[in-house]
């Protein structure tokens, strides 16, 4: 079921007599219960796009429909009600520093006029959900970054939203804490069926929890689709750059470069789907084409839609053997890209 529908949405800011087109003619459909990611570099328009979803920004053109709400046609009062169903978490948590964990989480319930006993029961439930039992009376300054974001998540869930918007929610956290927060978001999505829209400049975040992704560049959504499909067949150069954040992390690149200097053969990157797909293909390749294959580097990324692997190999053989080897690989649904010739 479709939950979010953006039709031809644009946002132009006027700044000192100049127009800044932050979001340009974006069409986007997000299904109920999915984790949808928007990836792009700084300035691409991601924050503006996500703020258009809860009408923190009003579109210059286009329409925004969320659940049954035509967001632009709502009265102020109806918009306030609709916003309760669209919650948000932030990079810097935006907690109230003078309130305890308990009172931060209770805050949106107070605003919504929920009675005290009901409020306390709900806060306790949320504290358990996000794994903060025992920290109810701490102040935000006494918490780690990951714990602060857990408070942010609990507070965002207080009024049972339909959608959770995450604006660079893990960008201020170290990799281990990032993983634990992404796991929590994944659990919440599974347990509550909550629809999550997250924006990030980090493709590993998309890889870990999103089922679909949109890539933004210069205000445009330049590509969107199922995460595994985008990993397998990125259409745009910028998407390839993002995919490489996962498949060729910097330390792996360095290792490849060092090996490239020493390799006698032709270095080829194989990309394949499925955990084991690479192994039999390589041994069959050696047998069928009578070439020597050295494995240089391998990497498998798990996405929500399945696994995706890349394998760097160096192949030694004459020109004909090499051509045969590439044809053989392609005939086995493995993509083969020549990285460097000896």
Ligand X SMILES: Nc1ncnc2c1ncn2[C@@H]1O[C@H](COP(=O)(O)OP(=O)(O)OP(=O)(O)O)[C@@H](O)[C@H]1O
**Which residues in the chain belong to E strands, given as ranges?**
2-15, 18-31, 35-39, 61-66, 69-70, 86-90, 163-167, 195-200, 212-217, 220-226, 266-273, 292-303, 306-316, 335-340
Out of 40, 59, 146, 265, the residue judged to bind ligand X by CB under 6 A: 40
HSE (CB half, 13 Å, CA atoms) of 43?
Answer: 2
Sheet hosting strand 292-303, strand order edge to edge: 292-303, 306-316, 266-273, 335-340
Q: How many CA atoms lie within 13 A of 260 on its CB side?
A: 14
94 binds ligand X (CB under 6 A): no
- 3-state SS of 163-192 is EEEEECCCCCCCHHHHHHHHHHHHHHHHHH
Site for ligand X contains 13 (CB under 6 A): yes
Determine the Cα–Cα distance for residues 171 and 189; give it in Å rounded to an integer.
20
Query: Would you count residue 16 as binding ligand X (CB under 6 A)?
Result: no
Contact region for ligand X (CB under 6 A) — 36-44, 223-231, 263-271, 309-317?
Answer: 36-44
Judged by CB under 6 A, which stretch of 37-45, 147-155, 184-192, 310-318 contacts ligand X?
A: 37-45
Of the two residues 53 and 289, which places its CB atom closer to ligand X in the complex? Answer: 53
Residue 47 is a binding residue for ligand X (CB under 6 A):
yes
Q: Is 22 in the site for ligand X (CB under 6 A)?
A: yes
Q: What are phi and psi of 200, to 5 degrees?
A: -160, 160
- Nearest approach, Cβ of 23 to ligand X (angstroms)? 7
- Tell me the window of 13-21, 96-104, 255-263, 289-297 that interacts with ligand X (CB under 6 A): 13-21
Of positions 5, 7, 12, 20, contacts ligand X by CB under 6 A: 20
Binding status of residue 140 toward ligand X by CB under 6 A? no
Q: Provide, rounded to whole angstroms, the least separation between the CB of residue 218 and ligand X.
A: 9
> Encoding tokens for residue 58?
């009003």
Q: Does 45 bind ligand X (CB under 6 A)?
A: yes
Among 16, 18, 42, 319, indicate the residue that binds ligand X (CB under 6 A). Answer: 42
Structure tokens at 62: 């286009």
CA atoms within 13 A on the CB side of 192: 22
Residue 19: CB minimum distance to ligand X, A: 9
Euclidean distance between CA atoms 184 and 129, whole angstroms: 9
Does the footprint of ligand X cover residue 15 (CB under 6 A)? yes
Q: What does the per-residue mask of binding to ligand X show for 221-250, with x meaning CB under 6 A?
A: ------------------------------
Does residue 48 belong to the site contacting ligand X (CB under 6 A)? yes
In the complex, what is the shortest distance from the CB of residue 43 to ligand X, in angstroms, rounded to a whole number?
A: 5
Question: How do 35-39 and 195-200 pair as beta strands?
Answer: parallel
Phi first, then psi, for residue 37 (nearest 5°) are -110, 145
Q: Which residues bind ligand X (CB under 6 A)?
A: 13, 15, 20, 22, 40, 42-48
């Amino acid at each position: 079921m479709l939950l979010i529908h953006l039709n031809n949405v644009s946002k132009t800011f006027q700044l000192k007599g100049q127009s800044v087109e932050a979001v340009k003619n974006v069409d986007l459909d997000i299904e109920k219960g999915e984790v949808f990611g928007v990836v792009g570099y700084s300035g691409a328009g991601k924050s503006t796009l996500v703020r258009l979803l809860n009408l923190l920004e009003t579109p210059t053109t286009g329409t925004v429909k969320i659940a049954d709400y035509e967001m632009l046609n709502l009265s102020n009062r109806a918009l306030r009600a609709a916003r309760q169903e669209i919650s948000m978490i932030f990079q810097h948590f935006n907690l109230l520093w003078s309130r305890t964990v308990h009172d931060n989480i209770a805050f949106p319930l107070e605003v919504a006029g929920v009675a005290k006993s009901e409020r306390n029961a709900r806060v306790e439930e949320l504290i358990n959900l996000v794994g903060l039992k025992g920290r109810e009376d701490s102040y935000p300054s006494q918490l780690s970054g990951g714990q602060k974001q857990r408070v942010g998540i609990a507070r965002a869930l207080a009024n049972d939203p339909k959608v959770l918007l995450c604006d660079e929610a893990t960008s201020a956290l170290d990799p281990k804490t990032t993983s634990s927060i992404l796991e929590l978001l994944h659990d919440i999505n599974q347990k509550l069926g909550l629809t999550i829209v997250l924006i990030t400049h980090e493709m590993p975040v998309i890889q870990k929890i999103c089922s679909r992704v949109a890539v933004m560049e210069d205000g445009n959504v330049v590509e969107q689709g199922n995460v595994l499909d985008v990993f397998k067949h990125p259409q745009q150069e910028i998407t390839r750059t993002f995919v490489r954040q996962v498949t060729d992390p910097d330390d792996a690149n360095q290792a490849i470069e060092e090996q490239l200097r020493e390799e006698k053969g032709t270095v080829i990157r194989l990309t394949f789907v499925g955990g084991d797909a690479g192994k039999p293909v390589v041994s069959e390749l050696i047998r069928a084409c009578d070439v020597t294959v050295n494995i240089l580097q391998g990497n498998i990324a798990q996405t929500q839609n399945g696994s995706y692997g890349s394998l760097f190999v160096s192949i030694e053989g004459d020109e004909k053997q090499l051509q045969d080897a590439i044809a053989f690989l392609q005939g086995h649904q493995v993509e083969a890209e020549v990285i460097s010739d000896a």
